[in-house]
Amino acid sequence: MKNSKGSLVRPDPLPESVSTPVVTPLSPSVVYASESPDELDSQYEGRVHGYTYSREGHPNADVVAKRLDAMEGAEGGVVTGSGMAAVSAVLMGLLAAGDHVIGGNQLYGRSLRLMKEDLPRMGIATTLADPGDVAAVAAAIRPETRMVLVEVVSNPTLRVADLDGLATLCKARGVLLAVDNTFTTPKSIRPFEHGADIVIHSVTKLLSGHSDVMLGYVVARDPELTEKMRIFAVTAGLTPSPFDCWLAERGMLTFDLRFDRAQATAVALADHLAGLPGVKRVLYPLRSDHPDRDRATALLGTQGCNMVSFELEGGRPQANAFARGAEGLSFAPTLGDVGTTLSHPASSSHRGMTAQERAAVGLSEGFFRVSVGLEEPGALLKVFSEAVAAATAVS
């Protein structure tokens, strides 16, 4: 039996409606049918817009890209299947064998692995340097250096990159500055306004916000570079699924409110923790005792981030007691979720280092990183008071 459009198998098109849905429709179709070879020519030659095959692009990805473009003050950004897909599109889509790239020495763990293991295997040389020290980055530049890749606020010690200094340096030396803005988000800082050439996001984190989507985004100031990354992403299959894009868009509708709430609670939590017996130190970029406070204020204004790190007195027994005592919070290695999550670098992200190596970067057994969520602030502070008290009760 044929349907009314003549298809032997496929269902009828959706019923017509003069009213329109208020929610973006989900379009899981992998393929899009064109009318004729002439029409396909028009599509490929850009005279009309039309989708062909969803690895090359689909409506749900484009809706998310547009929203992120507007937030970053950019155009034509590429949505990818994860944050690491976006980082890979930058490094593998733009660099070639013989090039050299400098990475921040506290990049996200998998970005560090790309720098240390995978790029060298492909003939791309890498160096790590402190993104807060422009002179150190300058000293690492070679004639073949093509790019510097940094995060605005680093994980988990929350140090702040000297973005303005790096932008001046990179411009003078003809090097691209790529900035991973995942922790800070465009609510805190728009890296293009500080001279960045490329902006990267793990949309998985605060932007989607519910820990049910993996997604990434990347865009360059120069449309030719964005196009190169798009082509690489399509070829390497870094494309996102329509459903993940649909969920991400749903999350992004409330991003503004979620960020404000989590950020304000993070400020309160940092101050609260600093007053608790048994807490050795607290790290929050906008606190007066943070080593990068002035730079954080200049770059981020009053919107810091939702991340707070702190160090408990004692060692593993105290850390165990704290994690067990933090009732209602997830001890889980992610960030940006609606619920507060705790991570413990010594047993997770930094477990590959020796205790001495960790001590050198200030990551003892008592060090925790907190991604502040949307709990009622008073109730959240109470959980922390009780969990720290449980830790100090351990001898």
Q: Residues with catalytic annotation?
A: 55, 108, 180, 205
Q: Which of 182, 246, 185, 261 is nearest to 212 (CA)?
A: 246
Using CB under 6 A, which of 27, 82, 145, 184 touches ligand PLP? 82
| Shortest reach from residue 212's CB to ligand PLP, in Å | 12
C-alpha–C-alpha distance, residues 296 and 252, integer Å: 25
Q: Where do we find the tokens 């001495």?
A: 356
Q: Where do we find the tokens 């293991």?
A: 117
Q: Which of 120, 99, 216, 202 is nearest to 155 (CA)?
A: 202
Residue 305 vs 381, nearer CB to ligand PLP: 305
Looking at residue 179, its amino acid is V
Site for ligand PLP in 163-222 (CB under 6 A): 180, 182-183, 202, 204-205, 214, 216
Strands 176-180 and 145-151: parallel
What is the SS3 assignment for 212?
coil
C-alpha–C-alpha distance, residues 262 and 245, integer Å: 23
Residue 83 vs 325, nearer CB to ligand PLP: 83
C-alpha–C-alpha distance, residues 364 and 380, integer Å: 24
Residue 178 vs 319, nearer CB to ligand PLP: 178
C-alpha–C-alpha distance, residues 70 and 78, integer Å: 13
Contact 166, 140 (CB under 8 A): no
Closest-CB residue for ligand PLP?
83
| Shortest reach from residue 2's CB to ligand PLP, in Å | 45
| Shortest reach from residue 131's CB to ligand PLP, in Å | 13
The interface mask with ligand PLP, positions 103-132, x = CB under 6 A, is: -----x--x---------------------
Confirm or reject binding of residue 258 to ligand PLP (CB under 6 A). Answer: no
| Shortest reach from residue 84's CB to ligand PLP, in Å | 4
Residue 105 vs 202, nearer CB to ligand PLP: 202
From residue 51, give the alpha-carbon distance in Å to each of 9, 33, 38, 48, 322: 21, 9, 15, 10, 52
Q: Which of 274, 316, 314, 282 is nearest to 157 (CA)?
A: 282
Q: Which of 107, 103, 135 is nearest to 120 (CA)?
A: 103
Looking at residue 43, its amino acid is Q
- The vertex-178 CA angle with 175 and 181, nearest 5°, equals 160
Confirm or reject binding of residue 80 to ligand PLP (CB under 6 A). Answer: no
Using CB under 6 A, which of 130, 151, 244, 249 touches ligand PLP? 151
Q: Which of 211, 230, 178, 220 is nearest to 340 (CA)?
A: 211
| Shortest reach from residue 183's CB to ligand PLP, in Å | 6
The interface mask with ligand PLP, positions 376-395, x = CB under 6 A, is: --------------------
Residue 216 vs 278, nearer CB to ligand PLP: 216
| Shortest reach from residue 110's CB to ligand PLP, in Å | 6
Residue 188 vs 202, nearer CB to ligand PLP: 202
Confirm or reject binding of residue 83 to ligand PLP (CB under 6 A). Answer: yes
Confirm or reject binding of residue 239 to ligand PLP (CB under 6 A). Answer: no
Which one of 5-13, 34-42, 80-88, 242-250 is the stretch in contact with ligand PLP (CB under 6 A)?
Answer: 80-88
C-alpha–C-alpha distance, residues 345 and 342, integer Å: 10
The helix or strand, by DSSP H or E, that contains position 330, with its residue range, turns out to be strand 330-331
Looking at residue 280, its amino acid is K
For the stretch 355-359, contacts whose Cβ atoms lie closer than 8 Å and that sit 24 or more positions apart, written own/partner, are none
| Shortest reach from residue 200's CB to ligand PLP, in Å | 7
Total number of residues that touch ligand PLP (CB under 6 A): 15
Residue 77 vs 216, nearer CB to ligand PLP: 216
Which one of 29-37, 81-89, 264-272, 352-360 is the stretch in contact with ligand PLP (CB under 6 A)?
Answer: 81-89
Return residues touching ligand PLP (CB under 6 A): 82-84, 87, 108, 111, 151, 180, 182-183, 202, 204-205, 214, 216
